Structure 1
Amino acid sequence: MMEQLILGIISKHMEEKKAIRSSQRGFTKRKSCLTNLIAFYDGMTGWIDEERVVDVVYLDFREAFDTVSHSVLIGKLRKCGLDE
């Protein structure tokens, strides 16, 4: 419950400050990881159709956020205008 409350507050703040680009996916409303894959696939197939060279690197950040220092995260959130 607390995570949902915090997510709502941070999301609203970031939306108001226009801190999230329109290309951001996965953590924004109506833009899932699936829509990200579709947009990516569409872009790549377009380049392949144009006979351009395409290289792809996949990174897995699944557990990356579990290792973030809370003090560093809080400092960065404060720089974005979020306080306690």
Structure 2
Amino acid sequence: MKTKINKGDDIKIISGKYKGEYGKVSLVLKKNNQVIIENINIKTKHIKPKQTDDKGYIKKIEKPIHYSNIKLITKTV
């Protein structure tokens, strides 16, 4: 499916938890019809230590949003 949204475009989220927020597209996942938006939909992932002397840590990851939940505001050239 062809989308009109590309990397660097300014968008507005029109539905979901982040409804009404604005952002910039950092990555387009064409296979799943999803986009990753900078500083939106950030989830935490707890990483276990690999060896006994290592420490675990918490990593913050930007998760994708389906492109039907966003609206294009300005397009980059």
Q: Which of the pair is proportionally richer in strand? A: 2
The structure having more radius of gyration, on CA atoms, is: 1
**Structure possessing the higher relative contact order (Cα contacts under 8 Å, 6 or more residues apart):** 2
Which TM class, normalised by the smaller chain length? under 0.3
Query: TM (normalized to structure 1)?
Result: 0.23
Q: Which of the pair is proportionally richer in helix? A: 1
Query: TM (normalized to structure 2)?
Result: 0.24
